[in-house]
Amino acid sequence: MRSDASMRSIAIVAVIVALVACGYSFTQYQQTQSLQQQLWQAKNQLQASQSRLVAEVRPDLPVRVGFRKAIFGSGQVAVLQNLSNEELQVTLEVTSTANGLHYQQPLVIEPNRIREIGGHEGWEFATGQTVTLNNTQYRPLRVVVGG
């Protein structure tokens, strides 16, 4: 029969082995979590790079953007000229850094035609606002009013 001292020694060794195993498992868990985080970050970077690459290979949006003073009311009117032989469906986005307002509207611009957007259509343009036209087949077109 084993003595109490040797039983205690065996119990202490067992506890130490269990603690070492737990510590090793926890370390492995932390390393797995760290690798998963690194993989997630790399995946996001790859997706962002792919999006930039796709955006870079798209052609320029065939639209000329200009502005004129509104005849009635205040502000300016955006003059959008479709330079292509195709109807263009775009999303017009306007942001005003002065007051933080944001305006978004889907538009159709007929082939080789001009479309005007102003107060009657819901937005009076002002100097400093950023106008962006988006169409998935083309690179976004950004223009600053008065810039």
Question: What does the pLDDT look like over 85-109, one tens digit per residue?
Answer: 999 999 999 998 888 889 899 999 9
Q: Using one digit for the tens of pLDDT, what is the confidence trace for 36-54?
A: 888 888 888 878 777 666 5
Mean pLDDT for all residues in the chain: 87
Which pLDDT score is estimated for 50? 76
Positions of the chain with pLDDT lower than 70, given as ranges:
1-2, 51-55, 147
**Nearest partner of 133 among 100, 99, 84, 75, judged by Cα:** 84
CA 49, 128, 70, 107: dihedral to nearest 10 degrees?
20
pTM: 0.62
Which pLDDT score is estimated for 12? 82
Which pLDDT score is estimated for 131? 95
Phi-psi region of 7 (alpha: psi -120 to 50; beta: other; left: phi over 0): alpha
